[in-house]
Amino acid sequence: MTFSSRRLLAIARKEVIQLRRDTRSLAMAFLVPAMMVVFFGAIISFDVKEIKIAVLDQDHSQRSRELVESFVATDRFVVTDQLTRRQQVGPLLDRGAIRLALVIPPGFERRLASGQPSPVQAIIDGADANTAGIAANYATAIVSAYSAKVASRGAPAVAPVTMQARVWYNETLESAPMIVPGLVAVIMMVIATMLTSLTIAREWERGTMEQLAATPVHPAEVILGKLLPYLAIGLIDVVATVLLGMYVFAVPFRGSAVLLGVMATLFIVGSLSLGIYISATMKSQLMASQLSQLATFLPAFLLSGLMFDLNSIPWVLRAISTLVPARYFITVMRGIFLKDVGLSVLWGQGLAMVLYAALGLGLAVRAFRKEIA
């Protein structure tokens, strides 16, 4: 058969007509690329701003206040806490309330006046190695600039003010301890949702939904029956990824395995339920898989804090990130892996996991009941 441009144009016209009727595919074809450009363009930034710090000023002198003002004068740091004793530093770092604690020792001004070097200390949260390294560099630059300012007033040629940076939780600032725990959250959200996004849609495409709807079972029983096998798979995946992180990437596991198991179960239940809800709504395996990727991959990768500091992105996207479950599970993973924190610190993230699981199950059951009514 010879090539016919007439038949080619006829097929193209038929495809255009089908696309005009399928508004969801058209929306996905045009909106997804635009959304990716907007998200990547707005979020991917290696400039870290508004790093939350706490100040422990044990000297309470004019010179110590000048040093603190040097930090405040930049847009890199925001002083959120004024501490009175060193024991307050640990809890703030544990729950991620600050990224850096600036400690000015007693006798700071007296040492400067006598021409002696006056060291200050920066205690940095190394769970996010990228932000920690940048914060340490910023702090060092500010202290060096202040030291030069003091020297210009007639101090000795040696640097009058020096900083000693000490990193907690990830002392070597390696990427693996930061990336691996967060990757578990992102991977599980994407994979769990995609796995179950095909379950109900598959029933519709195979023509077995009517048989399933005619059986004397409650919609919740159908949802849970479909969810449980995938939950077992998800938990096995969590165990496997944790072991890989520990033995392949040498990421320390310092926390409670039981707490991690409970949190992971809630997170996976929520993600699986979201996939079932999408499946019951779309009725098409192709559309369900595409929507599940759109609803999970981009938010989990870009708006969870895995790669980028959420304080550095626009406030609108920062507000949207509060609706991304992976954001809270990443905090759980890093807290249990690296900081050995318990429920007293992670109770907020635990509550978010409970709400995520309950909302996902509720939406899945409601969507399925609507379809079989």
Kindly give the confidence (pLDDT) of every residue in the chain, 373 residues in length, as a single tens digit, with 9 standing for 90 and above: 555 566 555 545 655 675 576 676 566 555 655 564 455 545 555 567 788 999 999 999 999 999 999 998 887 899 999 999 999 999 999 888 899 999 999 999 888 888 788 889 999 988 877 788 888 888 888 888 888 888 776 645 455 666 667 777 776 566 677 778 888 888 888 888 887 887 777 667 766 666 666 666 677 777 777 788 888 888 888 888 888 888 887 888 888 999 999 999 999 999 988 988 888 888 777 788 888 888 888 888 888 887 777 777 788 888 888 888 989 999 999 899 888 888 988 999 999 999 999 999 898 888 876 555 5
- pLDDT at position 41 is 46
Extents of the domains making up the chain: 51-168, 175-372
**CATH assignment of 51-168, among 3.40.1710.10, 1.10.3720.10, 3.30.930.10, 3.40.50.620:** 3.40.1710.10
H or E element, residue 236:
helix 219-247
- pLDDT at position 141 is 86
Transcribe 284-341 into DSSP letters: -HHHHHHHHHHHHHHHHHHSSSSSS-GGGS-HHHHHHHTT-HHHHHHHHHHIIIII--
Sign of CA dihedral 219, 220, 221, 225: positive
CB 50 within 8 Å of CB 74: no
Measuring CA to CA, which residue among 271, 282, 277, 273 is closest to residue 201?
Answer: 282
End-to-end CA distance of the chain: 51
Measuring CA to CA, which residue among 121, 114, 123, 122 is closest to residue 150?
Answer: 114
CB 193 within 8 Å of CB 356: no
Residue with tokens 């930034």: 45
Longest CA–CA span in the chain (Å) reads 97
CB 328 within 8 Å of CB 68: no
| Residue 305 zone, left/alpha/beta (φ > 0; ψ -120 to 50; rest) | left
CB 169 within 8 Å of CB 150: no
CB 281 within 8 Å of CB 174: no
The Cα–Cα gap between 9 and 88 comes to 73
CB 196 within 8 Å of CB 361: no
For residue 266, what are the contacts with CB-CB under 8 A and spacing of at least 6? 350, 353, 354, 356, 357
